[in-house]
Structure 1
C-alpha cells in the first residue's frame, strides 16, 4: 500500500490541476463572450443569475413551523350544548345559568360597563371618585376597603352613559375576592387596570389573563404626581416594555388626601390633611377613544369573554367529574382482578378471567368519557399491554412477595396471593392509561395508551402493592373457617 501512495498522490494532484485549468478556461471563455454581448443581454443574464440564487437560498432556508390557529371563542349554542352535557353528567349548572341570565340583563340595559381592576390599595376607588365627583364611594387608607362590587353611572364628555364597576382588590389577605373581581372584569365591555407603579409578577399574571380575553384594556398608572418627570418616564417605559403594545398606558393622578407638616413662625409643627389635586383627563380621553372605535365589537367581545369563562369552567367541572368516575371504575375492576386471581380453580383460568375483565373495564371507561368503544382498538391495546406485562411479571411477583412479608403467618392462608397483587397493579395501570388517553385524545389510541401504561405501571408501585396486599390478606383471612366474614370485611 505504501508503494502506491506517491502514485496516488501524483494522480490526485494531476486531476486537481486539470479541473482548475478547465474551470479557468470556462471562466475566461464566458468572460470573453459576455464582454461582446449587448447591455440588454447582460441585464437579463444578471437577473437570471439573481433569480436562481434566490430560489436556492429559499429552498435551503429552514421552514418556520406554522403556528396553530387559535380556536374561535364559544358561542351561545355551544354553551347550551355544554350545559346539556353537564346536566346529563349530573353536575349542578344553576350558577352558569345565572351568569347567562345576568349577561342577558346587561344586554337589555344597553349600557357600556367598564371595570376598574387591580391590586388592593392601587387606588381604584379614588380613581372612580375623581371621575365621578360627589359619588358615594368608600375610600380608605386601609387595604381592602371595597368588599363588594359597586356600579357607578358616568356620563362621558360625548354624552355616552357608562357604568364604572368598582371591584374588590386582588390579592386580599384571605384571597376570597379574586374570583369576584375577575368575574366582573370578564362581564365588562372594557377594563381599566389600575397600578401604583411598575408591574409586579402577580399584576403581570392578572394582566395576561385579562389580555387573553381579547377585550379593550387600559392600564392606568396611578399616583403619577408622586414621581419626578424622569422617574415617571422610566416607569412608563418599563411598563410599556412589558405590555409589548397589547394595551394602552395612561398616567393619572386619582387625588385623595395627604398628611403634611406645617411649621409655624415660632418653629411649632402642625399636622394637617390636604387634598391632592386629581388629574384623570387623559384616562377619560383614552376611554372615550376606545368606546368610539366600534360599539358592536365591544358587545361581541364582552359576550365572547363571558362564554369563554363559562365554557372553561364547564370543561373543568366535567373533566373533574369524569376523572372521579373513571377512578371508581378502575378501583372496582382492580378489586375484581384481585379476587378473580384468588378464585382461579385451574391453570389458565385466571388469564381468561382477567381478559374478560379488561375488556369490560375499557368499555366502561369509554362510556364515562362518551367515546364509542371500538372492539378492535380495545383488543389491540390489551394485546400491546400484555407484551409489556410479560417482561415485567417477574418483577411484579417479586414485589408482591416482598410486601407480603409485612403480614406474618399468611403463607398457609394465601395460594394465588402473588398473582392477585400483580394483577391488581396491572389493572390499575391499565385503567389509568386508558383514562388518560380518553381524556387527552378523545379516543383510546392503542399506540399512545400503551406508552401511558408503561409509565403508569411504575408509578407509586410499592405503595400500591402494599394497599393491594392488605386487600388480599383481608379477603383470604375472612374466608378462613371459624372467622366472622362480615367483621373481617368491615
Structure 2
C-alpha cells in the first residue's frame, strides 16, 4: 500500500491517509502510529493522516450485555468537508482533466490500431505484387526492382501515419533499406530460409524463379514491417538506427512455421508463382504428407 500511495502522490493525486480500527489501540500507541505514518509520508499534510473506527468492537457492559459503539468517523468527515470547501473547484478540474486525458489515450489507441491494420494491408499487397514482378524477371533477385516497388509502398505508409513523403524520398528510403538488407546478409539468409521452405530441387530454372519471387515478397515484408515502425515512431529509427529495426524484424520472421506458411501463402496469392509452382516436380501448394522439420540455416 505504501508503494501505491507513493505512486498516487507522484501523480499529483489529492490523498487522505486513514488508519482504521483505531479503537483497538491504546491512545498513546495510536498516537505513535500516526506520528510514524506522518513521518514516512512527509508529502502529506499532518491533518491528512488521521485515525477512525469504522466498525468499533463491541463493549461488554456491567450486566454482561454487548454494546456496539457508533462508528467513530467524525474526524474523517470534518477533514473531507474542509478539503472540499477549500479545494473543491480544483479537485473537480483535476478530475475532468484526468477523464479527458484517459479519453484522449483511448482515442489514440484506437487510431493506432486502425493505422496498424491499414499499414499491414498495404505491406501485404505490395509483397505479393513484388513476388509476381520479381518471379518474372531475369534470374537473381533484382534489388532495384524491389526498391522501386517498396518506394511506392513507403509513400502509402507515410500517408497512413499522417507523415507524407514524396516518391523521391520514398525511393531514397527504399534504396537505403535495400542496402541495409544486403549489408546485414539478410538477402542471402532469406534465400536459404525460403529454399528450405520450398523444399524442392533448386537446380531447376523454374524452381529458382519461384524462390526468387518468394524471396522478393519476403524481403518486401521485412522492409514493410520496418517502415511501419519508422513511421509509427514519427519518422525515427530509434537509438539503434535502421539496422537495429531491420534486424529485429528479420529475427521475428525466421521461425519455421512462419516461413512455411509464408511460402504457401505466396504461391496462393501470386498468379506468376502459381504457374511456376505447377511446373516444379514434387511440389504442390497443398501436400497431403506433412513437411519434414526444416533445418534452420546459419544466421548471416
**Which TM-score applies when normalising by structure 1?**
0.47
Quote the RMSD (CA, aligned, Å).
3.8
Unaligned segments of structure 1, at least 5 residues: 1-198, 266-271, 482-486
Q: Any idea what SS the aligned residue of 1:250 has?
A: strand
How far apart in 2 are the matches of 1:274 and 1:312?
52
Q: How far apart, in 2, do the equivalents of 1:339 and 1:386 lie? A: 18
Which residue of the other structure, out of 138, 141, 152, is the alignment partner of 1:360? Answer: 152
| Distance across 1 between alignment mates of 2:66 and 2:230 | 65
Aligned residue runs from structure 1 range 29-428, under 5 A:
199=1, 204=4, 208=7, 212=11, 214-227=12-25, 230=29, 233-234=32-33, 237=36, 241=40, 243=41, 245=43, 248-255=48-55, 275-342=68-135, 344-346=136-138, 350-391=142-183, 392=185, 393-405=187-199, 414-428=207-221
Instruction: Choose between structure 1 and 2: higher helix proportion.
Output: 2
Q: Comparing both structures, which one devotes a greater share of its residues to strand?
A: 1
Q: CA deviation at 1:300?
A: 2.3
Counterpart for residue 235 of structure 2: 443
Give unmatched runs, 5+ long, in structure 2: 280-284, 287-300
Match of 1:462 in 2: 255
The alignment of Structure 1 onto Structure 2 pairs a total of residues equal to 269
- Displacement after TM superposition at 1:394 (Å): 1.7
- Looking at CA atoms only, which structure, 1 or 2, has the larger radius of gyration? 1
Q: Which residue of 2 aligns with 1:22?
A: none
Counterpart-to-counterpart distance in 2, 1:250 and 1:381: 62
Pair 235,295 (structure 1): closer, same or farther in 2 beyond 3 Å:
closer
How many Å separate the matches in 1 of 2:42 and 2:242?
41
Any idea what the Cα deviations from partners look like across 1:310-335, whole Å, max 9, x if unmatched? 11211122112212222222222222
